[in-house]
Structure 1
């Protein structure tokens, strides 16, 4: 796999939340961001998923804040950053074919929908394609992974999943409670993903996935976006890029080599894995992977596994009448 052939998909960053907090940030090359257009080009990131995350610093989550981050994406990332917008299955065939980079929108926690499924429909119509039901704690739809009671979905939450099944909105279980994870295996009609989680057997953090959860994702042909949060990589908090290899090897030992992708959590962290400080470092990381693993596997983890999932499960573009 030569340098020119290398392409990367990253399934999670929080650049939009930073841009909402600091409106003077310029996505093109502002180094207050881990993910910029310049750094994406340096790291050969062909597709970046941008999460809409509403920080508690802004007070009660409101739908107008969700709309505000969508506006930052449209004007600042697509406009000034020059990215293309991935919304439909048919568009996936264009990713990685030239020097253009693409962006995709996800919602990290449905708190800002305020329990209103009409707002969920608006998000879909405005181009959001993935939805994480919770952040770490309980909301109107379900419990998060740090909610001590470990509840599953509420009645409204089950209606939200039903709407996702009908609309084509895809689901993300990073941050969802264990009970919610297992309930969703019964409720969801499509394979779901964990956009930014690692293996709990290697690093026992509540945000990481147990072997049973990993096996369930493998069985449904979902995806696992290994993340670069240092305290999810190794206990103690400091980590190097090579320490991610243990998570990769463990998931592969469970049969998940075709389910692995990456979800960095860049711009959602204030400490970084050594060697993975921003999206421009992906090229160096790819070289590390190639020194330790078969090329076909590495291409899958960096690009093919994520794109194959999107080709199968993104909604199709409506036919114009």
Structure 2
């Protein structure tokens, strides 16, 4: 075992939606959470992206609910004594050299923006830095990956993409339809990511990416965050940590060694990869990777690839006073 934990970046967890459902949750060490402050510390997590996800089970998505999760993030995640909020390109220079634990804020599905681009601007001003266009099904902007018609973007959705390109809001395609993915590849002048998706060639779930999609992300220097939901790792929905190596190996065979990062989906899943049940297990996973791959590659997948993307693509505070 390594004496020093490898630093980890994780581009997707759903802690905030659980907090909205259960307001008494304590982020420090609550057993109802996969991702807690204590487990992040134990696992060497230096950067965690917290998604704003509005479950349909809680009623029609609204901007009020989006604001509610932003407020939870401000109070319980980056409040006094909490994590450091990462919002600007200039701040992305710091995580590599300090012991600071950083938190980013993303929006998973734009349903709660209610088709209003002013609400998108407000989210940006309130510190949201990544936007996933859909969650599986159609909304006002585009079709999701499980929408049978496999449509692309609406006119208002194309306006949203243009606004993201102007503002510096990062775009995430993990739940976007195939048609939407390829339309976005034409529309966007900036690289985008799939924050929590795996390789469809290894596990055929529709949420995973085809080789052509992975190739497009390589060409634009985007990123792919490996997802730890067993149903996206192995056909049949039972998986061990070792099974993620198949996705890594396949993506690397396509040339994606510098695109791979992590997007665990912790707190958005109800079954877990054996050996990766929560962030405290990252050191063991890192050691597993080191038994198979050079340290430079492993460090890239665990942290550096995510950081280089943020350094290149986060908006600059100097042009957003």
TM-score norm. by structure 2 comes to: 0.98
Match of 1:232 in 2: 232
Q: For 1:33-44, what aligned pairs fall within 5 Å after superposition?
A: 33-44=33-44
Contact kept in structure 2, 1:28 and 1:81, CA below 8 Å: no
Match of 2:110 in 1: 110
Contact kept in structure 2, 1:28 and 1:80, CA below 8 Å: no
What's the CA shift for 1:15?
Answer: 0.3
Q: For 1:24-173, what aligned pairs fall within 5 Å after superposition?
A: 24-79=24-79, 82-173=82-173
Contact kept in structure 2, 1:29 and 1:38, CA below 8 Å: yes
Q: Deviations over 1:20-70 (max 9, x none)?
A: 000000101112111111110000000000000001111110000000000
Q: Deviations over 1:177-224 (max 9, x none)?
A: 000000000111110000000000000000000000000000110000
> Aligned partners of 1:271 and 1:246: how far apart in 2?
20
> Aligned partners of 1:290 and 1:90: how far apart in 2?
31
Q: For 1:182-193, what aligned pairs fall within 5 Å after superposition?
A: 182-193=182-193
Aligned pair in 2 of structure 1 residues 3, 12: CA closer, same or farther (>3 Å)? farther
What's the CA shift for 1:79?
Answer: 1.6
Match of 1:244 in 2: 244
Query: What is the aligned-residue RMSD (CA, Å)?
Result: 1.3
**Where in structure 2 are there 5+ consecutive unaligned residues?**
none
> Aligned partners of 1:99 and 1:106: how far apart in 2?
23
Q: Deviations over 1:259-282 (max 9, x none)?
A: 000000000001000000011111
Contact kept in structure 2, 1:14 and 1:266, CA below 8 Å: yes
Aligned pair in 2 of structure 1 residues 183, 119: CA closer, same or farther (>3 Å)? same
Counterpart check, 1:23 vs 2:23 = yes
What's the CA shift for 1:98?
Answer: 3.0
What's the CA shift for 1:11?
Answer: 0.3
Contact kept in structure 1, 2:12 and 2:263, CA below 8 Å: yes
Contact kept in structure 2, 1:78 and 1:85, CA below 8 Å: yes
SS of 2:317 mapped into structure 1 = coil
Contact kept in structure 2, 1:27 and 1:80, CA below 8 Å: no
Q: How many residues align?
A: 321
> Aligned partners of 2:149 and 2:160: how far apart in 1?
21
What's the CA shift for 1:80?
Answer: 5.8
> Aligned partners of 2:136 and 2:259: how far apart in 1?
24
What's the CA shift for 1:294?
Answer: 1.1
Contact kept in structure 2, 1:107 and 1:128, CA below 8 Å: yes
Aligned pair in 2 of structure 1 residues 320, 139: CA closer, same or farther (>3 Å)? closer
What's the CA shift for 1:78?
Answer: 1.0
Contact kept in structure 2, 1:144 and 1:176, CA below 8 Å: yes
SS of 1:9 mapped into structure 2 = strand
TM-score norm. by structure 1 comes to: 0.98
> Aligned partners of 1:229 and 1:125: how far apart in 2?
32
Contact kept in structure 2, 1:196 and 1:263, CA below 8 Å: yes
Moved over 2 A (4+): 1-5, 96-100, 318-321
What's the CA shift for 1:4?
Answer: 2.8
> Aligned partners of 1:98 and 1:218: how far apart in 2?
29
